[in-house]
């Protein structure tokens, strides 16, 4: 493969660019004579910073503009944080590759004055910043005495707001903090028993045109099979529940002895109702495991909870 030019569509945020530059470097490292360029742009989710994510709606909130570039031939691939990529993609596009996963857990970041506390020891009324309904619902379920407040902006902006005293602590993805060089700010990795992570969290998804065999061949060098199997199960679970990125749905997955174990959770926003279960199956058909787990949770009342949440958003 010689003198092939590949253009990547990416969000402009610092984290998105770090992730996209990593993909560029890896592709150029593995494929000689490949020229990779980056087209950076702002998405709807980057522009609207004064409204909670859940109220905007999440169909392509961080992806639509990048996908448009591919559909009109201005980009060959788009690099996404996989947790931001909807489970149903526009016609003509596909998820071509899932990269090796960074730590998918949520992390607690605290202000200097509160570094003696862990999540479980913060006093009543402490202000916790999060923009995620998934985190909000699970933490309200475990720590109803804490005060939760919406926080928007990129990772650096959120840390600045924390350090300025607007919050006592904030919850962020450990993967994003590590990729941006803020690993030292991780005060506590939040256990799965407390907060299941978002679908696809910690992995990168590379989207491309469905019929572009050459591009699919190029990006396949970055595919990590165990991560892909886990994330496909997680995404099938989310798709079967007809949930989006901004709904209180959490997961955890692991592979042992060619068996994939998927744990899933659906909760009401107030945290008072939380349904959790798990499924184990063959790594050869990860999507079957995700669908089966979704059906199990539906039988336990997950559908009713999600319907109430969607109706609440429509009214607002």
pLDDT digits 0-9 by tens, 231-260: 999 999 999 998 665 689 999 999 999 999
137 and 19 housed in the same domain: no
Cα 278–280–282 angle (5° rounding)? Answer: 150
What are the tens digits of pLDDT across the range 138-187?
999 999 999 999 998 889 999 999 999 999 999 999 999 999 999 999 99
210 and 89 housed in the same domain: yes
66 and 184 housed in the same domain: no
* Cα separation, 112 vs 164, whole angstroms: 10
* Cα separation, 274 vs 269, whole angstroms: 9
- Confidence at residue 242, expressed as pLDDT on a 0 to 100 scale: 82
What are the tens digits of pLDDT across the range 270-295?
999 999 999 999 999 999 999 999 99
- Confidence at residue 64, expressed as pLDDT on a 0 to 100 scale: 87
Query: Within a domain: residue 195?
Result: no
Place of tokens 């039988």: 299
Here the tokens at position 162 are 């924390």
Torsion of the alpha carbons at 76, 78, 82 and 85, rounded to the nearest 10: -100
Query: Within a domain: residue 194?
Result: no
Query: Within a domain: residue 197?
Result: no
What are the tens digits of pLDDT across the range 109-141?
999 999 999 999 999 999 999 989 999 999 999
Could you tell me which of 19, 14, 7, 2 has the C-alpha nearest to residue 202?
Answer: 19
pLDDT higher than threshold 60 for residue 300: yes
User: CATH number for the domain including 87?
Assistant: 3.40.190.10
Could you tell me which of 130, 154, 203, 173 has the C-alpha nearest to residue 13?
Answer: 154
* pLDDT top residue among 244 and 220: 220
pLDDT higher than threshold 60 for residue 52: no
Indicate which residue of 46, 50, 58, 84 is catalytic: 84
83 and 162 housed in the same domain: no
5 and 134 housed in the same domain: no
Residue 95 pairs in a beta bridge with 207
Here the tokens at position 266 are 């659906």
At 15, the pLDDT band (50, 70, 90 cuts) reads very high
* Cα separation, 118 vs 7, whole angstroms: 44
131 and 151 housed in the same domain: yes
The answer to whether 274 and 141 have CB atoms below 8 angstroms apart is: yes
- Confidence at residue 50, expressed as pLDDT on a 0 to 100 scale: 45
Domain region containing 2: 1-101+203-223
11 and 74 housed in the same domain: yes
At 3, the pLDDT band (50, 70, 90 cuts) reads confident
pLDDT higher than threshold 50 for residue 48: no
Sign of CA dihedral 134, 16, 63, 202: negative
Q: What are phi and psi of 161, to 5 degrees?
A: -65, -40
- Confidence at residue 197, expressed as pLDDT on a 0 to 100 scale: 97
pLDDT higher than threshold 50 for residue 51: no
212 and 233 housed in the same domain: no
Q: What is the pTM of this model?
A: 0.91
Non-local (6+) Cβ contacts of 263 within 8 A are 192, 196, 251, 252, 253, 276, 277, 278
pLDDT higher than threshold 60 for residue 56: no
What are the tens digits of pLDDT across the range 202-218?
999 999 999 999 999 99
Mean pLDDT of 293-310: 93
- Confidence at residue 246, expressed as pLDDT on a 0 to 100 scale: 67
- Confidence at residue 99, expressed as pLDDT on a 0 to 100 scale: 98
* Cα separation, 25 vs 153, whole angstroms: 27
Active site residue 84: yes
What are the tens digits of pLDDT across the range 19-47?
999 999 999 999 989 999 999 987 655 44
- Confidence at residue 44, expressed as pLDDT on a 0 to 100 scale: 59
Query: Within a domain: residue 196?
Result: no
The answer to whether 81 and 16 have CB atoms below 8 angstroms apart is: yes
300 and 290 housed in the same domain: yes
- Confidence at residue 312, expressed as pLDDT on a 0 to 100 scale: 77
E runs forming strands in the chain:
4-11, 34-41, 77-81, 93-98, 106-110, 127-129, 147-149, 169-173, 188-189, 204-209, 249-256, 259-267, 274-282
80 and 153 housed in the same domain: no
Domain tally, the chain: 3
The answer to whether 126 and 169 have CB atoms below 8 angstroms apart is: yes
246 and 308 housed in the same domain: yes
Query: Within a domain: residue 128?
Result: yes
Could you tell me which of 234, 205, 198 has the C-alpha nearest to residue 222?
Answer: 205
88 and 116 housed in the same domain: no
181: left (phi over 0), alpha (psi -120 to 50) or beta: left
83 burial (CB, 10 Å; 0-12 / 13-18 / 19+) is buried
* Cα separation, 271 vs 14, whole angstroms: 32
């Amino acid at each position: 493969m010689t003198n092939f030019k590949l253009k990547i569509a990416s969000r402009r945020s610092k984290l998105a660019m770090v992730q996209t530059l990593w993909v560029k470097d890896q592709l150029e490292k593995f494929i000689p004579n490949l020229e990779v360029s980056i087209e950076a742009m702002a998405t709807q989710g980057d522009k609207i910073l004064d409204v909670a994510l859940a109220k905007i709606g999440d169909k392509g909130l961080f992806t639509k503009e990048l996908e448009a570039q591919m559909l009109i031939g201005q980009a060959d691939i788009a690099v996404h944080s996989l947790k931001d990529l909807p489970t149903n993609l526009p016609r003509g596009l596909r998820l071509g590759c899932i990269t090796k996963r960074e730590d998918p857990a949520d992390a607690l970041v605290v202000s200097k004055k509160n570094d003696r506390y862990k999540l479980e020891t913060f006093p009543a009324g402490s202000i916790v910043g999060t923009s995620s309904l998934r985190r909000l619902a699970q933490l309200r379920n475990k720590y109803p005495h804490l005060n939760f407040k919406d926080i928007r902006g990129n990772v650096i902006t959120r840390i600045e707001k924390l350090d300025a005293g607007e919050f006592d602590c904030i919850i962020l993805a450990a993967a994003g903090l590590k990729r941006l060089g803020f690993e030292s700010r991780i005060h506590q990795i939040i256990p799965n028993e407390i907060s299941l992570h978002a679908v696809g969290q910690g992995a990168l998804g590379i989207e491309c045109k469905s019929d572009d065999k050459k591009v699919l061949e190029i990006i396949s060098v970055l595919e990590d099979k165990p991560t892909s199997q886990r994330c496909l199960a997680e995404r099938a679970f989310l798709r079967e529940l007809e949930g989006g990125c901004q709904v209180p749905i959490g997961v955890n997955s692991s592979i042992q002895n060619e068996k994939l174990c998927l744990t899933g959770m659906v909760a009401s926003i107030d945290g008072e109702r939380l349904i959790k279960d798990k499924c184990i199956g063959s790594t050869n058909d990860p999507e079957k495991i995700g669908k089966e787990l979704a059906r199990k949770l539906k039988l336990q009342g997950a559908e009713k909870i999600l319907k109430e949440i969607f109706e609440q958003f429509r009214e607002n």
